[in-house]
Every structure is written in C-alpha cells, then in structure tokens.
Structure 1
Amino acid sequence: MTAAVSPTRAYRRLSVEQRRSQLLDAALSLFAHRAPEEVSLDDVAAAAGVSRPLVYRYFPGGKQQLYEAALRSAADDLEQCFAEPQDGPLTQRLSRAVDRYLAFVDEHDAGFSALLQGGSVVETSRTTAIVDGVRRSAVTHILAHMDLAEPAGPRLRTTVRMWVTAVEAASLIWLDEDKRPPLDELRELLVEQFVAQVAATAGRDPQTAEVVRRALALESPDGPVGELVRRVLPVVAQAAHLV
C-alpha cells in the first residue's frame, strides 16, 4: 500500500526586490486599515504568506523599519499625484492632481491618518520628515505649474502651502464624515478654494496678480473659474454697499 503524500505549499522564489516589494505591499494593506501599533510582524508575514524570520531578514530593524519603508513607499505615490503635464488651464491640471490624491485617500481609507498624518506611537523624526516631504513636493509641483519668471515670493508660496494643508485637512475630514460629500464634489470645492485663495493674494501681491492674469487667459467660460464667478457674484452683489 502506497503511503499518502501530504500536499505541500509551493514556495514562490522571488528576487530580493520582488520579495521586498511583496512585504511592503502587505504592510501597506494592513497599515491602510489599522493603526501601525496594532499591526504585528506576524500579521505582515501572514498577509504576505511568508514566515516571520523572512520578514526580519528584509527588515532587521523590526516593525519600525518596516513602517518607515511602507510610509516612504506611500509617500512616493502621493508625491506623484501633483506631477502633471504643464499645458492647458491651471484648474484642469489641479483637478486631475486632486483626483489622484483623493483616490489614494479613498483607497487607503481610515488608515490614511495613520499612514501619513502622524499620531502614531511609531512616529519619529524620520517619519515626520517623510510626511513633510510630501507637502513640500506638492508645493513645488504647483508652483512649477505657474511658470514663474522668478522664484515664488513669500505671499504666493504661503498661499500655496496653505492650500496644500487645506487639501490634507479636507481629506481627513472627508474620511471622518463617512466619505461625504462625493469625491467629485470635494475635488471641485478644493479647486475652487485654490482659485479663491490665489485671487485674494493677488490683491496684495504683484507676482500673484501676474500669475492670475496669465492663468485666467487660458480658462474657458464654462470651466471651474467661470462656474465659481457665476455662483459668487450674486452673493457679492447683495453686499454691493461694501464696494
């Protein structure tokens, strides 16, 4: 009688980079829905279908090293959200960039806060620097879209930084509000806020005023700026005594 042979799980041999990427993907999937301190290396190993010692082989610094690597991977994706060809109306470019940013937030769900906004027991100066790098990259991309003849002055740079912070805050509020309003409405609101903030700064800063003049020349009447003007003008007209 031939002895029964127990089935064995085939071990998939991967290259070093493939295996590391697999572990990071597993970690990101877990961190996306749970706070980092609630995820163990055993959880990551199980999600990746490997042993705990294998996880340690690639991340000998343990969960902290794995968390920072996963955060860096997520940050790399977010930094590319605002990378957009520099042609067409500025609001269209921003709309596409915000769409990508919000899609990332939606995909990572409630873990967006744990992944990129701090508040975790595993937060360090390195993780804070990674998150700040995402913000700085967004500001750099947006200023590049403005095609400035000289470096951005403090008023314009401050305005753009304020808006990037607003996008970040709105994303967290959107998650806290059970993903309401709809993503397309949130995107439109954020783009309109950018227009409003830059327009307000233009009244105080010649460099920003020049940016606004050139940007408006590319906008169509039925675009975001036209829609914003049509909605806001009636409200302003009711307070015409202020002009």
Structure 2
Amino acid sequence: MTGSGTTSYRRLGVAQRRAQLITAALGLFAQRPPEDVSLDDVAAAAQVSRPLVYRYFPGGKTQLYEAALRSAADELELCFAEPQTGPLTVRLAAALDRYLAFVDGHAAGFGALLQGGSVVETSRTGAIVDEVRRTAAGHILAHLQVPEPGVRLRMTVRTWIAAVEGASLTWLDEGKRPPVEELRDWLVDHFVALLITTAASDEQTARVTRAALALEPADGVVTRLVRRLGPVLAEAGHLL
C-alpha cells in the first residue's frame, strides 16, 4: 500500500510479519536501549505503518519488547549447545565465540535486553532472562556429564555464567577491550580455575574435574594456564 504520508509495506503472513517487526525492533535495540525506541521507530525501520505494529502487538511497546527479548533469548540459549565431544575447553571456547558475537552485535541494547534495567521490563521479561541463565548452566552441566549436580557444582557453574554476563558488559563499557579473543580465552581459564577451586573441597566436582582434564591435550589450554601460574606461585613459595 502506498500513498501520500503512508508507509509502504508488502503483504506478509501473520508469522512473517511478526518476525519482521521483531527483527526491526532487535535491530533498534542493538543501537540503543528499549526505552529510547518508540513504536514509530519500529514502524519506520520495518517500513510499515504505526497502526500495523499495533495490529500485531496490541499490547504496544511492552509486548513487542517481550517478543524481541524472547527471540534474543532463543538465540542465546543455543550458544552453549555445543556437541559433547573433544576437550571441554575447546567446547567452551566455541560456545563463547557465539555468545560474544551476539553481545558484539547487540552492543547498545545488551544490558537492557539480557540484564534487565529497562523501563519496559516486566516479570515475564525477568523470567525469560533467568531462563537463559538456567539453560546455559544446563548445557555446561551436560558438557560435564553430571545429570544430578550437587549444590557446590551448581553454584560453580551459575557463578561462571554470571561472570560471563558481567565480563561481557564490562567489555562493552571498556570499548570492546581487550580483543574479543583474549576475553574468550580469559573466560575459559576462569572456568577452569573455578572448577579446580571447587574440586579442592567437593568430591563430586573433583571427579568431574579429573574426567574433564583427562581429555585435555598436553599442549592445550590447561597446560598453558598452569605454566603461566608457575612464576606467580613460585614468588609465593612460602605459602606452598
């Protein structure tokens, strides 16, 4: 439909039109927080009229925000769904590459979309965000092959998921420094360190850690981490 003062748009099916509007909203949220994006902005980005946006999202901006968040959550939940073969550190690195690529692509809106703090946040959006965290933790535990993790192992994994989120936000605040590859490698090292620390006082985690380390190559991530730690520990030899 075209005309003076009327935005043109193609006729699409219901699912296609909803997907188009959600994609337009996510593109805008990637540039600025949801509270700074109006329905007029979404309509302009999708090249449709404002009434059409309301037709598919009668709840207005809040409903559209929830739908966009759900779409983003679906993508994030897949980040840690790596095949459960090979060294654990290699799997984590591949998962983090996807996660950090999402963060990079949704830089301005990442905090509002995944960390809350938006004026259009609702109890449902909070539940969606928590679902992302729980799903990510579930994938990590599956990589560790632990169907019934104890509280300390669950805390270790959830702590790392929180660290990944926090580090991602700080990385954005710091102008995407250090380089994303360094951030990824540091987060992998961080998981190894957390796992080993918990293993020192929890037998289940110790069994899991031994099994995971057995798959690591002799010249891999864990070996390089140990070598870097050597000089640091040597300087504190009186504690050993």
Equivalent residue in structure 2 for 1:103, among 89, 101, 124: 101
Moved more, 107-116 or 81-90: 107-116
Which amino acid is 2:170 matched to? Answer: I
1:134 corresponding residue in structure 2:
132
Q: What's the CA shift for 1:141?
A: 0.3
Equivalent residue in structure 1 for 2:28, among 6, 27, 30: 30
Q: What's the CA shift for 1:219?
A: 0.3
Equivalent residue in structure 2 for 1:83, among 81, 84, 94: 81
Task: Map 1:45-124; keep pairs closer than 5 Å.
Answer: 45-124=43-122
Which amino acid is 1:37 matched to? Answer: E
Is the 2:160–2:191 contact (alpha carbons within 8 Å) kept by the matching residues of 1?
Answer: yes
The answer to whether 1:240 aligns with 2:240 is no
Q: Deviations over 1:150-178 (max 9, x none)?
A: 50000110000000000000000000000
The answer to whether 1:180 aligns with 2:177 is yes
**What is the alpha-carbon distance in structure 2 between the residues aligned to residue 11 and residue 108 of structure 1?**
26
Count of matched residue positions in the alignment of Structure 1 and Structure 2: 236
SS in 2 for 1:221: coil
Which amino acid is 1:196 matched to? Answer: A
Alignment gaps of 5+ in structure 2: none
SS in 2 for 1:163: helix
Moved more, 166-175 or 15-24: 15-24
**What is the alpha-carbon distance in structure 2 between the residues aligned to residue 61 and residue 115 of structure 1?**
18
Q: What's the CA shift for 1:10?
A: 6.7
The answer to whether 1:199 aligns with 2:196 is yes
Moved more, 176-185 or 221-230: 221-230
Q: What's the CA shift for 1:224?
A: 1.0
Q: What's the CA shift for 1:11?
A: 4.1
TM-score by structure 1 length? 0.94
Equivalent residue in structure 1 for 2:151, among 150, 154, 159: 154
Q: What's the CA shift for 1:44?
A: 0.3
Q: What's the CA shift for 1:9?
A: 8.3
**What is the alpha-carbon distance in structure 1 between the residues aligned to residue 175 and residue 105 of structure 2?**
14
Alpha-carbon RMSD across the aligned residues, in angstroms, is: 1.4
Larger radius of gyration: 1
Q: Assess, with a 3 A threshold, how the Cα gap between structure 1 residues 139 and 237 changes in structure 2: closer, same or farther.
A: same
**What is the alpha-carbon distance in structure 2 between the residues aligned to residue 10 and residue 110 of structure 1?**
29
Identical columns (%): 71
The answer to whether 1:190 aligns with 2:213 is no
SS in 2 for 1:236: helix
Q: What's the CA shift for 1:183?
A: 0.3
**What is the alpha-carbon distance in structure 1 between the residues aligned to residue 7 and residue 149 of structure 2?**
58
Which amino acid is 2:198 matched to? Answer: T
Q: What's the CA shift for 1:205?
A: 0.4
Q: Deviations over 1:9-30 (max 9, x none)?
A: 8742211111110000000011
1:3 corresponding residue in structure 2:
none
Which amino acid is 1:51 matched to? Answer: S
The answer to whether 1:169 aligns with 2:166 is yes
Is the 2:7–2:47 contact (alpha carbons within 8 Å) kept by the matching residues of 1?
Answer: no
Q: What's the CA shift for 1:47?
A: 0.3
Alignment gaps of 5+ in structure 1: 1-5
Q: Deviations over 1:115-165 (max 9, x none)?
A: 1111111111111111111100110000000112x5000011000000000
Which amino acid is 1:54 matched to? Answer: L
